[in-house]
A and B are shown apart, each in its own frame.
Chain A
Amino acid sequence: MFFENVDFSSLEVPAAAQALREEVCTFLQAEAAAGTFTPQVGHAEFSAEFTRKVAARGWIGMTWPRRYGGHERSYLERFVVTEEMLASAAPCAAHWFGDRQIGPSLLRHGSEKLKERYLPAIARGECYFALGMSEPNSGSDLASVRTRAERVAGGWRVTGQKVWTSWAHKAHAFFVLCRTSPDTGNRHEGLSQLIVELNAPGVTVRPILFMNGYHHFNEVFLDNVFVPDDRVVGEIGQGWKQVTSELALERSGPERYMITFPLLVELIRRLGQAADVRAQEWVGRLTARFWTLRRMALAIALTLERGSGSDGGAQQATVDLATEAALVKDMGTFYEREITDAARLLAGVEPDPGAHDAFERYLAEAIVYAPISTLRGGTTQVLRTLIARRLLGPRP
């Protein structure tokens, strides 16, 4: 029913990727030791300095063609790098969107000019992107966006409001989903994706503070912002199709079940060799669930790999595995809460955001950020509706 063409019994990361894993691991240990970053659990931090170093190693745009600054490496190698970044809770926010969504989307839909303008800069770790999809009245119902673009000489004038835009206050540009022609009944038509540079006249970014006072996301106001024709991504009117394929890409990676993994590792460290049967049982179960999620994510990565033979093949495979990716995300995001709960109940410490001990600080972070993973990138309910559609077929 799912993973039809996957042979789980022989699924493995090839030995070549193992060498890469060690390389990334060594790099991350050195950077953490040098104080370039402090591991943080719950969401990825933004660090331009770190991103540039990662880029210098060739770990951004790994699967992209060389002529756009990419490294023509495999999806599996990218998978391994992502895993290591997550296991170390490294600050990848500056390149996460660009590497995972913007890049693949530009490769598939972007004009030559757009690819040349942005891809090499993203891969060098010098250009950071945000995503402007959500609006005050359009969350899960994304097709209802009201931000609109009007045709003017040489381009478009964009007016509207985006919200929850992660890192818009640090990014250079963002993808804006907007209406380029009025809703005439079929709401999935008439939507387009434009690239808006955040320093353009008419753009205002205002912080929205997270409940712990942290500045992560923003609201972005667009007031008659001029966007030249050559910043249109793909075709005018095809925005909906493009966005849904990006979402499928966003859902398929280890970031959907590994955000709190460092907390599990610290929990294990804390338990040491204690003969605590209750803890052993909990750790065993969490490990079993983790291993299973990883097998499924690996299956998706390997299928991407297989599909990537011809140009655009990877995206085709993504579409075919969209339901599997939704399954992994749905289960992965709940799994992360299980880690948090186990850590809390087994350790019996009060969550302290100022703790010096890594375990205690991670626990406090994991609790506060727990609600976000089941919201962003498609809520639990939206994902399950998507899965049910595959189970039940289209509604008669």
Chain B
Amino acid sequence: MNAPNEIRAMLVESATRLFADHVDAGMLEAAKRDGWSAALWAVMESAELPRVSVPEEAGGAGGTLSDLAAVLRVAGRYAAPVPFVETALLGNWLLAGAGLELPRGPLAVLPGAPLSGQRSGDGWAVSGKRGRVPWARIAARLVGLAEADGELLVVVVDPAACLIAPGRNLAGEPRDEVTLHHVPALLAAPASAGVTARTLRQRAALGRALLMAGALERALELSIGYAQQRVQFGRPIAQFQAIQQELARAAGEVAAAVAAALSAAGAVEQRGEALFEVAAAKIRTADAAREVTLIAHQVHGAIGVTDEYPLHHSTLRLWAWRDEDGNEAEWSIALGREVQRLSAEGLWPLGLAFQAQH
């Protein structure tokens, strides 16, 4: 049950090697300019990483969602500048569930309420406007939900047929405004059971939490390494108890963030809908991001806030990601309401025994 999963361990090991070999300072700098790394994406695609959790009959590797979660954490650790969550956790899930063919190339997913769909010839056309869509301008295809004739459809459109106004997050990742004006759907099929705008948002928040868990680990690793090497007052600053205490506090936050994000992935894998756990994971990773980014910068001193030192690849992403797909206040309110619904009697032991019940 809790035994180390050997297949997953191998997957994580090979993904770690892949990112370590291909993500470097030069690539991350170039990605700030280009919005992403096409070269990294190509390597990931040939390693089938975007299809880790796609069922074999849909052309994937047949892994579990928790397998993918473990790899997303690694991607977050390396600040991989690619739409990995959007393609692997969101887009391919929507497409495979609807029985649609998975296109090659990176996907962007239109968030929020379903688009509006209308009949157009033999197929469908969709309309709507969405702000801050991750990676829209570099995506090969846009995937979204659309409501048409009272039915919920998964649709695929060509970004070239949309109006895309480029935007960016703090780390320079594309967050674009997409306007769809009666755009023909290249592919469309009814969404599978359990797919709703609500579960899509939960998965998006889960993906962000997993990336954050990895980014938090990197911020801590850099801080530990720097503290051991930076000498002041004649000794490495790691020997000062004040520094040690802050690193220990950061380590606790990182461990909590990792535990929360991976636990939530397990809940989504088992139940699909997992408001409680996803909310908890997004809240806990965001809380950790607040503490750990500031500790990491404090430990680094001035070098940490420069463009040349790598810490900002992690911290800028953490400051961006904690507010994407719902910040900790929004998810706290949602979880607070869920707890109210469960009531004082229901929170314990049943509320917390979700894992055992389902």
Give residues in A with beta carbon < 8 Å to B: 1-3, 5-15, 17-18, 21, 25, 83-84, 87, 261, 265-266, 268-269, 271-273, 277, 279-285, 287-296, 299, 302-303, 305-306, 324, 327, 330-331, 381, 383-388, 391-392, 395
12 more contacts with CB within 8 A, not counting A1-B251, A385-B244, A392-B244, are A6-B2, A9-B269, A12-B356, A13-B356, A280-B336, A284-B339, A292-B259, A296-B256, A305-B2, A331-B253, A384-B249, A391-B251
How far does the Cβ of A59 sit from chain B's closest Cβ, in whole Å?
16
Are A7 and B2 also in contact (CB < 8 A) when A284-B334, A284-B335 are? yes
Q: Which residue of A lies closest to B349 (CB)?
A: A21
A10 touches B248 (CB 8 A): no
How far does the Cβ of A310 sit from chain B's closest Cβ, in whole Å?
17
A11 touches B333 (CB 8 A): no
How far does the Cβ of B328 sit from chain A's closest Cβ, in whole Å?
7
| Contact string against A for B residues 267-293, beta-carbon threshold 8 Å, 1 for contact and 0 otherwise | 001000000110111011001000000
Interface majority SS (helix, strand, loop, mixed), chain A = helix
B306 at the interface (CB under 8 A from A): no
A12 touches B259 (CB 8 A): no
A330 touches B252 (CB 8 A): yes
How far does the Cβ of A315 sit from chain B's closest Cβ, in whole Å?
19
> In the bound complex, how far is the Cα of B251 from the Cα of A290, in angstroms?
18
Q: Which residue of B lies closest to A387 (CB)?
A: B248
Contacts of B329 in A (CB 8 A): 281
B298 at the interface (CB under 8 A from A): no
Which of A87, A296, A303, A392 meets B259, CB within 8 Å?
A296
B232 at the interface (CB under 8 A from A): no
A291 touches B348 (CB 8 A): no
| Contact string against A for B residues 319-358, beta-carbon threshold 8 Å, 1 for contact and 0 otherwise | 0000000001101111111111001100111001101110
B349 touches A296 (CB 8 A): no
| Contact string against A for B residues 213-241, beta-carbon threshold 8 Å, 1 for contact and 0 otherwise | 00001001100100110000000001101
A384 touches B248 (CB 8 A): yes
29 A-B contacts (beta carbon < 8 Å): A2-B251, A3-B258, A6-B2, A8-B263, A8-B266, A9-B66, A9-B266, A10-B266, A12-B356, A13-B356, A15-B356, A18-B353, A21-B353, A266-B344, A282-B332, A284-B337, A285-B328, A288-B284, A288-B335, A292-B280, A293-B256, A302-B2, A306-B2, A327-B251, A385-B244, A385-B248, A388-B247, A391-B224, A391-B247
A296 touches B248 (CB 8 A): no
> In the bound complex, how far is the Cα of B263 from the Cα of A383, in angstroms?
25
Which of B1, B224, B266, B356 meets A392, CB within 8 Å?
B224
B142 at the interface (CB under 8 A from A): no
> In the bound complex, how far is the Cα of B337 from the Cα of A83, in angstroms?
24
Which of A13, A269, A386, A388 meets B355, CB within 8 Å?
A13
Q: Which residue of B lies closest to A83 (CB)?
A: B349
B20 at the interface (CB under 8 A from A): no
B245 at the interface (CB under 8 A from A): yes
B94 at the interface (CB under 8 A from A): no
> In the bound complex, how far is the Cα of B217 from the Cα of A268, in angstroms?
34
